[in-house]
A and B are shown apart, each in its own frame.
Chain A
């Protein structure tokens, strides 16, 4: 009847120790990087905010090799159990306040603790991108949501809209279609999602898709009641009544901590080379915070592995 998703982080990360490799981020990139680094013999730690990272905002995953269809939470548990076999210390539930580099990297946490490491992986992913339309902020948490797993229960038996046309939007719509009475995907251009996911979505009788349609405004009194939508095919604007909207249009990179420290793109994504090196030697980056356009769990994990292997080479070259 009830599930219990127990998270257990280990606070035994020792602030007196100089680490070889610290993974900043406890999502797929950070966890896999820590696993690889530890197996290479590097003294490794993980510092993250939430175990699982953005994967926590997803209900199911069905494109991670070897797992078929799996609940995101179960996949996170598998990742964490695997990492724990290496006894890697992990701190979660805290925010990183600053990253500096002198001889080594220093990371200061929101609780005042400071950790030092010869190399770093930055894998803090992204935060949900907003539509930036009138009414969005006003109705945030009053009908406007950015987390399907968190907020779907409020829309049981109700009519909802999903904004977006990528995999995350289609997955969110599939998840909502199981409990909401009607789900409408509204997207300003064409689908970018995998065809297999689109096919799955369209099998739900309560799902409607409005492509080439742009949401211009969110309206209501106290709670969201309707959207103003532009039908781009005939340049017609109309009112679309809904109980709620889930915004699934990708993420904005969590890279504020790196501004002025390394090179970022115009969109504030971390510029990395093919081996996950950033513009600052010893600092690697992986996952959704980087310029890699394919924001996928398996890609983030693989980039984490590459970064850890490169960190091992970097440390060896320095003869330390």
Chain B
């Protein structure tokens, strides 16, 4: 398959990844030739080749065994991030993070590797207080410039509290799921399959919704 990143894009990404602190692992789950599986595999491979701190493990769904439960893999392509101690901290992508979504992908790599994103003490304390299981689905399109911000916020909350899982869902690849949640505008954020947020909202708005659960 032809390379997805041209020289310029590779160099840009590499220069960012050079700032990684700890090593990370990305576990990708594919199902044969599923829609965008091949391209996602290629994108993650090309990315992992740009830093020796990224380990990529690709698994066919049929061979995934317990991982399907551990990481709650419900669709393919889907991939999760593990930190340096191989802990899953709720950061998941469903579908290819191309287009604008390359930004939430890079930011997940950097933050999982230990590059911190500063949040206020008040926000940190509100995140720490979340005690119920929270699933944040962020529906995106690859042409949406406002979407990566929402994905990053969901992932940040997940990284800071083990009760929270944050997942990007590429709306066109997962059309049925998008239809189930009546998604025809993005970013659309669905919390625990019942609460909705529209647009790239500040982290405080995510927390307000979560606190009503």
Contact = CB atoms under 8 A, between A and B. Distances in A.
Nearest to A6: B12
Given A3-B98, A52-B145, A141-B198, A151 B186 contact: yes
B120 interface: yes
Contacts of A113: 118
B103 A5 contact: yes
A140 interface: yes
B75 interface: no
Interface in B135-157: 141-149, 152
A111 B36 CA distance: 36
Contacts of A153: 141, 143, 171-172
Contacts of A141: 182-186, 188, 196, 198
Contacts of A154: 141, 171-172, 183-185
Contacts of A223: 182, 184
Bin the interface of chain A by size: 35 or more
B185 A1 contact: no
A149 B185 CA distance: 10
Contact of A149 (B13, B16, B102, B143): B143
A4 B184 contact: no
Interface centre among B13, B96, B103, by most A CB within 10 Å?
B103
B202 A110 contact: yes
Interface of B: 4-5, 9, 12-13, 16, 39, 43, 96, 98-100, 102-103, 106, 118-123, 141-149, 152, 171-172, 182-188, 196, 198, 200, 202-204
Interface of A: 1-8, 50, 52, 56-57, 73, 93, 95, 110-113, 140-147, 149-155, 222-223, 244
Given A112-B121, A150-B144, A155-B184, 6 more contacts: A6-B12, A110-B120, A110-B202, A111-B118, A149-B145, A150-B146
